[in-house]
Every structure is written in C-alpha cells, then in structure tokens.
Amino acid sequence: MKKLFSLLLALAMLISLCAAAGAEGVTTITFWHTYGDQETPILDEVLIPMFEAANPDIKVDAVRQSGDFNQMVVTALGTGVVPDIARVDITKTSAYAKLGGIIAMDELDGFAALKDAVLEGPLSTNVWNGHYYGLPLNTNCKAAVINLEQMKALGFDGAPATMEEFIAACKEKAPGEFKLNVSGVGDWDLYPYFWLFGGVLTDEGFTKASGYLDSEASVNAIKAILQMHDDGVFTIRDVDGTPDAWDGINSQYAMFFEGPWYPFSEGIVPAQIPTYNGITASVVGGENIVIFEGSKNKEAAFRFLQFMLSEEAQLELLKVGVIPTLKSLVENEAVTADPKWSVYMKQLESAKSRIPTPQASTVEQLWSDAMNMIFLEGADVQETLTNTAAEIDIELAK
C-alpha cells in the first residue's frame, strides 16, 4: 500500500513537473475588448486559436469588458493592473497616450509596414504629440440612409447625387416637411454636415482652431446648415423635438446619415452621402488597438496586434459586420460584393477623424455648446465660432 502511495505521489510530481516544463516558454497576454455578442465568438473560437496555432509560444487571454470600458481602463491604469493589449475607442487613444498609459509604436519593428497598410482617416486617430500610439483595428463611418419611396416622391430614383439638387427638390416638392434629419448637435452628428458644406475644424496637425473653425468657409458651412434648417429641409431632433431618425426614416424622412449598424431593409438602403460643391464627407468612428506601458509582454502583444491587422483576421470579422481598416481590402471581393460594405468602404475614403486630442471630451463639449447657442438660441455664427475656436486653441495647447 505504502509502495503504491509513493508511486502515485511520484507520478503526480512528474506530471506537475511536465506541466511546468510545458508552460515554460509560453507567454500569456491579456487582451481587453468590447466586441459584441456576434464578434466575440469569432474572436474566441476562430481568431485566437488561429493565432495560437501560428504562435505556439503565445497564449491569448481575451477578456470581454462590459459597462463603462473607459472607466475600467482608467481604473486599471490607476492600480497598475493593466492588460497587455486592448481595443479602445478612437476618441480615447490620445488621452491614454497623454496619461502615459500606452506606448508609442513608431519605433517598433514592423510598425512602418502596418502604418502604410491601413486607411489614413482611421490611422490619424492614433496620433498624439507627433507619435503613433496605436493602430486602427476596425473602423466605421457615416453614410446616407435612404428611404427609396420618399426619394421617389422627391423625384429621385435612388439616392440623389448632390445636396444641391436634394435641397432644391425638398423645397419644391415637400416644403417645410423636414426630409433630412440628425439627432443632435454633437460632433458625431454635425461634423459630417459641417465638412460637407466646406467647414474646417483645425489645421492639419490639429494644433489650432482659430483661423479655421472661424474662417469664412466654416462660417458659410454653418450658415448653409442653418439655412437648410430654416427652409424646413433639415431638422435636428434635439432642437426641434422631431421624431428620431430611426423611426422617422420609415415614414417621414427621405435621408439621414448613420453608421453601418442601421438595420437596412428593402426600401431603406445605404448610399454615398450626396456631394456639395463636388465633395462628399463623413466622420470616422471605430476602435484602435493599443499596447499598454505596464505590459511585461510588449513584443508578444505586438505580434498579436500584427495578426489582428492581417487580412485573414479582418475578413473573419467582416463576416459579422466589423469593417476592416486595411487599404488592401477596399477592393476585396468580400467587400465589393456586399451592397452595404461597398458603400461604407467607399465613404470611408472621404471620412475624417474628429480632433485627436487628450482634451477630446472638452472639445466635443465646446462644439456642442456652440451649436446649441447657434441653433437653439440664435447666436451670431461668426462670433460664436470665433469664441469657440479660441477656447479650442487653449485645449489643444494643453
């Protein structure tokens, strides 16, 4: 009996030693993300096994976070218990960079190739202080959501090509009926219109708003939007108390701008945002992938990042509606064959990012305040934009 017990004990020790030897050399990295119910199985059951098979020395521990993800990240930074790598909102990247929580990737071996491979609009959301602190993992933008029947009543067979003809048709055939809708006056809602009508937020380096936001072009852009509003063509739900776009597009509105998550149907289809003065515009959304300063496995994390930006990984996620960020996939058959993805990928080419600054929340607030003053209180456009530009300058200088 004693012999048997000793044998079992020796066997148990041998097994644990073998297990320890097996674990040795395997690096486990933690990946925080907020993928939804559809995307998470693809990540857990397809992508991670695929990566681990190709990289047997790395194990990925993917943790799906819920609730206020930004709060989770800030708390993690405060406690020092951070993941190695994470998928974060594009508007938060520069803020985490300023806090010193994530690493600049410029000098990493292989970064230059990745930088050249991704779309420039989404890439620009990773810049802070002249360095790249992440890479765009998935992207989205707004495109036009069209009610075909409403458009037909306005005399269009499908989406109008230009805003000029759309506005003229609305004024003529449906005066005061508000055929174009937006939810509010925040940056995500109004930037596409502002850019479409020729407005400019800052210089190219995102360092100064004065001279740009209050320029003649920007003032004219806001005035053009105001004019559309006064003409009964364009309504802002939060200002006018009109029905929400998602409800109203079924019966009242002919068009609004929305991301690819809108549940399109036979009569309500996606289309390119009509041009104004020959240009179209949209706003970039999406998530970046970043590596944390506190990570002890930065090299392994970067290998996982490279994998997530590979064509095979991006195409897998496209199957569940995650728009890729690789330039090479814009013309990929999986994209062009799909009526929805083809529209959004094409629109992305003209989509711009919001100002990538650690003060993004304050800048957004300043913009919303200015638009509220103009659209709700009838404030002078030039004066309001000049004051707001000066205040944004202060924020950008911080």
Partner 1 sequence: MSVRTDAFLLRERKALRKKRLRNIRPASFFVLPGLILACVFVLYPMFFNIRISFSNYQIVQRNIIFTGLDNYIALFTERGDRLFLAMRNNFLYAVVTTPFIILFGLLFAVMVNSLKRGGVFFRTCFYLPVITSWVIVGNVFAYMFNAGQAGLMNYLLKDVLGLLPAYVPWLQRTWTANLVIWLLGIWKNIGWSMIIYLAGLQGISNDLYEASSIEGANKFQQFWKITFPLLKSTTFYVLVNMVIGAFNVFIQVYMLTGGNPRGTTSVLQYLLYDKAFNLFEFGQGAAIGMITAILILVTTVVLNKVFRTEGGKAE
Residues 177-206: x where in contact with partner 1 by CB under 8 A, - otherwise, as a string: -------x----------------------
Q: ∠ at Cα 165 (159, 170), nearest 5°?
A: 85
CA 340 to each of CA 160, 181, 223, 323: distance values in angstroms, whole numbers, following the listed order: 17, 21, 32, 11
- 164, 177, 338, 369: residue in contact with partner 1 (rule CB under 8 A): 369
E strand or H helix that includes residue 209:
none
* Cα dihedral: 145, 189, 343, 268 (round 10): -10
Is 331 a binding residue for partner 1 by CB under 8 A? The answer is no
Nearer to partner 1, 198 or 243 (CB): 243
Is 242 a binding residue for partner 1 by CB under 8 A? The answer is yes
Applying the rule CB under 8 A, the residues between 66 and 85 that interact with partner 1 are 68, 70-71, 74, 77-78, 80
Is 275 a binding residue for partner 1 by CB under 8 A? The answer is no
Residues 276-305: x where in contact with partner 1 by CB under 8 A, - otherwise, as a string: -----------------xx-----------
Closest CA to 260 of 287, 288, 286, 234: 286
CB 244 within 8 A of CB 183: yes
In the complex, the smallest distance separating the C-beta of residue 82 from partner 1, rounded to whole angstroms, is: 9
In the complex, the smallest distance separating the C-beta of residue 241 from partner 1, rounded to whole angstroms, is: 4
- 241, 263, 278, 378: residue in contact with partner 1 (rule CB under 8 A): 241
Structure tokens at 349: 């080419």
Q: CA 135 from chain center: how many Å?
A: 12
* Separation between Cα atoms, residue 178 and residue 180, nearest integer Å: 6
Nearer to partner 1, 98 or 340 (CB): 98
Beta strands in 20-105 (DSSP E): 27-33, 58-64, 85-89
In the complex, the smallest distance separating the C-beta of residue 249 from partner 1, rounded to whole angstroms, is: 13
Residues that bind partner 1 in the complex, under the rule CB under 8 A:
68, 70-71, 74, 77-78, 80, 95, 98-101, 184, 237-244, 247, 293-294, 358-359, 361-362, 365, 368-369, 372, 376, 391
